[in-house]
Amino acid sequence: MNRSTVLFASTSLLIAGALAPAALGQCGGMPKPAGPSSATTGGQSGHGGASAATAALSASATTSRRQPVNKMCPIKGGEVDAESPTRPFKGVTIGFCCPGCEGKWDKKTDDEKMALLAKNAPEAVTAIDAAVKPAAQPDFKPVQPDAAALAATPTVKVARGYLEACAKADAAALDALFLDKGRATVSENAGDEGTWETYRDHHLLPELKEMPGFVMTVTKEDVQTFGTTSIVRQIGSFTVPDPNHPDAPRKYLAAITYVVVDDGGTPRIAHLHWSSRAEKKIDPAAPTTPEAKPGTGASHEHK
């Protein structure tokens, strides 16, 4: 082997060592870097690879390693990986499904971050609410407008308009409340229902046709605003006729979360999450042993 061949082989090994960690750090289930290699950290600070590795290690060292409060990644919606980088946000720690998502997160505004959390990890929004309570006021709660002011809030009007349009099965009125052209999404009982248009045609309207006069009684309603994004929550119940027991309709408990954004000066729903379950009825004659099975819950929106 001549001298030029040896020099070429050595150079190839150095390049491979410098590129390997970057290639392994991509999303998509690829293995994560086990640590810095000697090719990028061993006394070669004058090379670009060593400088990049040093910067990466520094960023990693300053990244918060507290337990993430979210279960799902706000960027891709995948399950949070405990080994991936985290980011502090509004007093809590946000986790991601894989390296690379944190960079996309860093480029978002706070309003966009809150909207992503409300869509993919609503438990993080609850944790943020708890984190911002003043230590000297453990019973502090975000100030809510009174009933009249709440009813006049544009974003709350949108949420109430949704229920009113559902009661009439008015497709045109419903469409006016959502971002159009596939920009709005819907989730139901933590399941992805796709775009608003898909949900409207294949789920909501067919069910409302079978349930004329659908009415949800709202017992609790609140709104939180983050810049141009608002999160409206409604908790209540509705009844569904039981063909086998006409005089005893089934009662369901429900909760709706709306992410409302500004669309050219008009508030519209960017994401809606519906959750419901059948109310459990206590049967005095039922056994109280651990073997007794609990009642089943509703698996879809208005049924």
User: What does the pLDDT look like over 152-170, one tens digit per residue?
Assistant: 899 999 999 999 999 999 9
Which residue shows structure tokens 């001549």? 2
3-7, 69-73, 120-124, 283-287, range with the lowest pLDDT: 3-7
Q: How far apart are CA 153 and CA 161, in angstroms?
A: 12
Options 3.40.50.1820, 3.10.450.50, 2.60.40.1660, 3.40.50.300; CATH of 147-278: 3.10.450.50
- Residue-level pLDDT at 139: 56
pLDDT at 107 over 90: yes
The overall average pLDDT reported for the chain is: 75
Q: How confident is the model at residue 279 (pLDDT cuts 50, 70, 90)?
A: confident
> Model confidence over 180-204: pLDDT tens digits?
999 999 999 888 999 999 999 999 9
Q: How far apart are CA 84 and CA 103, in angstroms?
A: 12
> Model confidence over 203-236: pLDDT tens digits?
999 988 888 878 899 999 999 888 889 999 999 9
Mean pLDDT of 103-127: 87
At residue 243, what are phi and psi to the nearest 5 degrees?
Answer: -55, -30
Q: 218 forms bridges with which residues in the sheet? A: 236
The terminus-to-terminus CA distance of the chain in angstroms comes to: 77
Angle (nearest 5°) at CA 110 between 105 and 113: 45
134-138, 171-175, 221-225, range with the lowest pLDDT: 134-138
To 10 degrees, the CA torsion angle through 218, 296, 190, 64? 100
Instruction: Give the 3-state secondary structure of residue 90.
Output: coil
CB neighbours of residue 220 within 10 Å: 9
CB neighbours of residue 204 within 10 Å: 23
Task: Put residue 264 in one of left, alpha, beta given phi > 0 → left and psi -120 to 50 → alpha.
Answer: left
According to DSSP, the β-strands at 245-263 and 229-242 are: antiparallel
> Which has more confidence, 148 or 74?
74
At residue 143, what are phi and psi to the nearest 5 degrees?
Answer: -70, 125
Strands (E), 10-55: none
- Residue-level pLDDT at 142: 56
Which residue shows structure tokens 């960690």? 21
Residues composing the chain: 303
Q: What percent of the chain has a predicted confidence (pLDDT) above 90?
A: 40
pLDDT at 173 over 50: yes
> Model confidence over 3-34: pLDDT tens digits?
544 444 444 444 444 444 433 344 444 344 44
Q: 268 forms bridges with which residues in the sheet? A: 261
pLDDT at 96 over 90: yes
**Where do the CATH 3.10.450.50 domains begin and end in the chain?**
147-278
To 10 degrees, the CA torsion angle through 182, 154, 169, 249? 120
Does the global pTM surpass 0.75?
Answer: no
Angle (nearest 5°) at CA 68 between 228 and 231: 25
**Closest by CA position to 91, among listed 127, 118, 65:** 127
> Which has more confidence, 221 or 36?
221
Q: 275 forms bridges with which residues in the sheet? A: 255
71 contacts: CB under 8 Å, gap ≥ 6: 79, 80, 121, 123
